[in-house]
Chains A and B, each alone.
Chain A
């Protein structure tokens, strides 16, 4: 299948990326893809869709976080117990350090903390963002998977996939604020307006939660195995990947009404947005990235390593440099 190439919606990040294009002239834009069952990271030229570099890691790379200064991309190698440091422009390895079970990770918006979900060991670890020293370990039963911050960075919310709960941790007091059952196997979670949105992988919907105490205020049916939630760069729509159904649901960000349903079989997972409007979607069971045009739903395939998971596009770097807050949109 050929990928329709067209420029669309040069708003938000797309505009920012274009504005800063000269800074990237030396390095072609790359997609950095974490192959969770291949112990490698694929660095793919976004223009040609060819793998230009394969970075070896230890065992099981899943997710990434960009350092607050934008100079390093940290990739968590969960069962390898290591954090790999990459140059986010080229994907070249800058080294690694030992850290326990880094599955999902993200820096707080105030750049103070790196919060790491250790899914295998039932820990939510808070590291000092500067030296990456462990500051506080929270025992979170069980299987902490995804996380989201409040905009001021004072709270972090982690989904507990094994026990159907969300736990809220107050980072100013370094204490659990609340823990609440939300539904079967909660996975992706994002801050949305004044609420939280959380996808229920054991269900077929996204629940809207009150961040004050976690009670459910609304339920939005999306598809069986709702797994991951990504807002578009312009904030107008929200995409929800439905793992069992093999679909992606597009919601209107304001009304949360379903606008469209895309069929993307092969275990759709993380999504990254390119400046040309295309969505790069990892397909966990199909060793590929679907590069999809959200206007038509048509997609082409880009080969990766085994079970691709997190996807980082170097084209977000200029925007990230200008506005840290925009990164919240891209956590993968």
Chain B
């Protein structure tokens, strides 16, 4: 019998590590969901390994920059492990579980049973790959606007600037986000899930590829996909322009995570900049080179300052 190796590893983990721990601590009511997380962790670990195996040689052979001291990169490694191998998603899930139950329950009670794309668009049912790509298209567009708004709204930018403060951007930088920024993302996509449902989850390998593209786009590598390819998938060259020092802040470019098409359609694509320096010159040093905790605090301070400034402006304006 052919066995999916990811499932085999996740199954072994579930039986020999996850379940005994859950049983020991009285969490067995979550055992079914825990298997989903075991699978998530296995795929996440695989993502990290594949990304490392591909991006590391690329960064070594075709670097945009070389640094004598790359200590700041280690913090990004921590962000990646926290996010991809599952700890952060578990915390988010547990934190939001009750909210999700109450919001969904309330809507269902009032006649809104969250649909799926296959129910909204007759004919999609049974075409799981097409459905999956349609979801990717919609969610990538939604992510474009979430990202663009995070640059436009001052207090949100204060949080998001943590992602941009890195002057030594590498493929590890993709998951470098403020916790509150991650939280807003979770709410954003939670809202969309109420409108169109969640994507089918039977294509974890495709998810792995998509997450790989996001990591690769942050790589410290001179890599372009060519004139046509640059318009199809976000490349390291395209995304580096977004992280360039001149693009940091409330007017930026190239917001797309996977597909550049949204930048082309909404007029924010910039294909002219080639491999600029990255970072946010206006960010305090802790956001760039601090430890994980220091960066999180610095993000909060910057958000508080931004909100305080806004309040003062209102007072001066007599609102």
Contacts and interface: CB of A to CB of B under 8 A. Distances in A.
B1 A303 contact: yes
A287 interface: yes
B119 interface: yes
A58 B125 contact: yes
B11 A80 contact: no
Contacts of B197: 58-59, 80-81
B187 interface: no
Interface residues of B, number: 41
A100 interface: yes
Interface in A98-130: 98-101, 120-123
B94 interface: no
Interface stretch (A35-43, A63-71, A320-328): A35-43
A96 B119 CA distance: 10
A39 B128 contact: yes
A311 interface: no
B145 interface: no
A37 B26 CA distance: 24
A84 to B, nearest CB: 10
Interface of A: 37-40, 56, 58-59, 79-82, 96, 98-101, 120-123, 137, 142-143, 161-162, 184-185, 201-202, 224-225, 243-244, 246, 265-267, 284-288, 301-303, 306-307
Given A98-B113, A121-B108, A162 B14 contact: no
Given A37-B201, A98-B119, A287-B4, A267 B14 contact: yes
A37 B39 contact: yes
A122 B98 CA distance: 10
Given A37-B39, A224-B23, A225-B19, A58 B31 contact: no
B15 A82 contact: no
Contacts of A79: 198
Contact of B105 (A121, A143, A243): A121
A267 B11 contact: yes
B113 A285 contact: no
Contacts of B1: 288, 301-303
Contacts of B36: 37
A287 B3 contact: yes
Contacts of B39: 37
Contacts of A143: 29
A106 to B, nearest CB: 19
A18 B40 CA distance: 45
Interface string B73-102: 000000000000000000000000000010
Contacts of B202: 37-40, 306
A56 B132 CA distance: 13
A308 B243 CA distance: 45
A39 B117 CA distance: 14
Given A59-B201, A96-B125, A201-B28, 16 more contacts: A39-B202, A58-B118, A58-B125, A58-B200, A59-B198, A59-B200, A81-B113, A98-B113, A100-B108, A121-B101, A137-B109, A185-B26, A285-B12, A285-B15, A306-B4, A306-B202
B126 interface: yes
24 contacts: A37-B201, A37-B202, A56-B125, A58-B119, A59-B116, A59-B197, A81-B115, A100-B108, A120-B101, A122-B101, A185-B29, A185-B31, A201-B28, A201-B29, A224-B23, A225-B28, A246-B15, A267-B11, A267-B15, A286-B3, A286-B7, A287-B4, A301-B1, A303-B2
A302 to B, nearest CB: 8
State the 9 A-B residue pairs at the shortest beta-carbon distance, nearest first: A285-B11, A202-B28, A185-B28, A56-B126, A161-B29, A185-B29, A100-B108, A201-B28, A121-B105
A120 B97 CA distance: 9
Contacts of B118: 58
Contacts of A184: 26, 28
Contacts of A306: 4, 7, 202
Interface string B248-266: 0000000000000000000
Contacts of A99: 113
B306 interface: no
B298 interface: no
A331 B197 CA distance: 29
A139 to B, nearest CB: 8
Interface in B1-22: 1-4, 7-8, 10-12, 14-15, 19-20
